[in-house]
């Protein structure tokens, strides 16, 4: 029997009583969706999963983004969309992305069809003096919205922001000494900036959330540049206040999922090159929750099955 145990913090719940290597019933999937809409970050501890299990579970939430941001969809490997995040090297080369997500952002806010859920499976967790390193930190965008003054909420309603993939990429190169090469003109063409409303109504909970993030949001389109810069700075500072934050400390065999529509996140880079971290990751797009092929009645049926 699946149980949902809230962490008691501003985000997060632990889901027990389910083996994710086995097919999920509609009822359990509905319960997981509901818990995701409410708690934003869900931990499934002590899961023994292979790559196919991680992919199959992820696909319940929507389509998975292609093989990598650098080189998408150029592979015939059916499991290539299950990514590797790791600082482990083999034959002198990293076996996965060593510095993915190491500052605040929302995955795929830079896409028209944006990110919905991230699925991360912890295989190797760095530890120092017994303490787990390389946690993942979140901030709650329902709470950030709720805490805005009424006149600010009214001001943001109807405003849109531009989100640009290159902003985060260049930030990592410039400010974090990332070894990423500059984006090529071809990569830029594949990732043109997109526009989303600043306030969204969450498709599961019906609650309002602030949809902006320092990683990718570059401009508020309806305002002059200086006003846009000032408002974005204000929102970025507001959404990162400590009262909205929650950190997940990893254990091996944790499967963690989180909702990109109501949270922002970062990977904490507090471990060294010899402290090894290995994760499997699927970035799931909002092709079901917002998509006409998965319309409101179907979503509600899934939620009601819970």
Segment 264 to 293, residues that bind ligand SIN, using CB under 6 A: 265, 267, 279, 281
Segment 155 to 214, residues that bind ligand SIN, using CB under 6 A: none
- What is the closest distance, in whole angstroms, from the C-beta atom of residue 265 to ligand SIN in the complex? 6
Binding to ligand SIN by CB under 6 A, coded x per residue (else -) over 216-255, reads ----------------------------------------
Work out whether strand 13-16 and strand 41-44 pair parallel, antiparallel, or are unpaired. Answer: parallel
**Residue 188: exposed, middle, or buried by beta-carbon count in 10 A (0-12, 13-18, 19+)?**
middle
* Positive or negative: CA dihedral 40, 116, 180, 233: negative
- What is the closest distance, in whole angstroms, from the C-beta atom of residue 50 to ligand SIN in the complex? 20
User: Which listed range, 57-65, 68-76, 100-108, 144-152, lies at the site for ligand SIN (CB under 6 A)?
Assistant: 100-108
- Residues 6 or more apart whose CB falls under 8 angstroms from that of 57 comprise 20, 24, 49, 119, 255
By CB under 6 A, is residue 106 in contact with ligand SIN?
Answer: no
At residue 193, the 3 state secondary structure works out as coil
CA distance 228 to 218: 9
Exactly one of 12, 40, 101, 214 binds ligand SIN (CB under 6 A); which one? 101
Residue nearer to ligand SIN on the CB measure, 31 or 105: 105
Exactly one of 55, 81, 118, 228 binds ligand SIN (CB under 6 A); which one? 118
Number of residues this chain uses to bind ligand SIN (CB under 6 A): 10
By CB under 6 A, is residue 62 in contact with ligand SIN?
Answer: no
Binding to ligand SIN by CB under 6 A, coded x per residue (else -) over 65-94, reads --------------------x---------
- What is the closest distance, in whole angstroms, from the C-beta atom of residue 304 to ligand SIN in the complex? 31
Residue nearer to ligand SIN on the CB measure, 32 or 278: 278
User: Which listed range, 41-49, 65-73, 99-107, 239-247, lies at the site for ligand SIN (CB under 6 A)?
Assistant: 99-107
Beta strand residue intervals within the chain, DSSP E: 3-6, 13-16, 41-44, 83-86, 89-90, 93-94, 115-124, 127-128, 131-132, 136-140, 160-163, 194-197, 199-201, 208-210, 217-220, 245-248, 255-259, 263-267, 278-285
Segment 130 to 159, residues that bind ligand SIN, using CB under 6 A: 136
CA distance 274 to 121: 20
> What token pair was written down for 250?
């990893």
CA distance 101 to 216: 12
Residue nearer to ligand SIN on the CB measure, 118 or 139: 118
**Residue 234: exposed, middle, or buried by beta-carbon count in 10 A (0-12, 13-18, 19+)?**
exposed
Residue nearer to ligand SIN on the CB measure, 120 or 210: 120
CA distance 267 to 247: 10
Residues at the interface with ligand SIN (CB under 6 A)? 85, 100-101, 107, 118, 136, 265, 267, 279, 281
């Amino acid at each position: 029997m699946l149980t949902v145990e809230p962490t008691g913090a501003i985000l997060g719940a632990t889901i027990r009583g389910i083996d994710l290597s086995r097919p999920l019933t509609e009822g359990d999937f509905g319960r997981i969706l509901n818990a995701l809409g409410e708690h934003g970050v869900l931990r499934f501890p002590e899961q023994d999963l292979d790559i196919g299990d991680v992919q199959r579970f992820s696909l319940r939430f929507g389509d998975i983004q292609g093989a990598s941001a650098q080189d998408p969809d150029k592979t015939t490997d059916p499991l290539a969309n299950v990514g590797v995040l790791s600082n482990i090297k083999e034959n002198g080369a990293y076996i996965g992305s060593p510095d993915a997500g190491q500052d605040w952002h929302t995955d795929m806010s830079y896409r028209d069809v944006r990110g919905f859920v991230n699925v991360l499976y912890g295989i190797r967790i760095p530890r120092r003096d017994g303490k787990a390193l390389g946690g993942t930190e979140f901030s709650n965008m329902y709470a950030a919205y709720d805490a805005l003054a009424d006149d600010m909420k009214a001001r943001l309603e109807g405003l849109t922001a531009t989100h640009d993939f290159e902003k985060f990429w260049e930030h990592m190169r410039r400010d974090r000494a990332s070894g990423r090469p500059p984006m090529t003109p071809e990569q830029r063409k594949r990732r043109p900036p997109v526009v989303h409303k600043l306030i969204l109504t969450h498709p599961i909970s019906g609650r309002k959330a602030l949809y902006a993030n320092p990683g990718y949001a570059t401009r508020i389109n309806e305002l002059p540049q200086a006003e846009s810069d000032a408002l974005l700075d204000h929102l970025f500072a507001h959404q990162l206040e400590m009262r909205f934050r929650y950190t997940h400390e990893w254990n091996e065999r944790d499967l963690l999922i989180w909702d990109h529509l109501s949270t922002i996140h970062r990977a904490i880079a507090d471990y060294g090159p010899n402290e090894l971290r290995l994760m499997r990751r699927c970035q799931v797009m909002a092709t079901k929750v917002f998509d006409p092929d998965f319309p409101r009645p179907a979503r509600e049926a899934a939620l009601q099955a819970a």
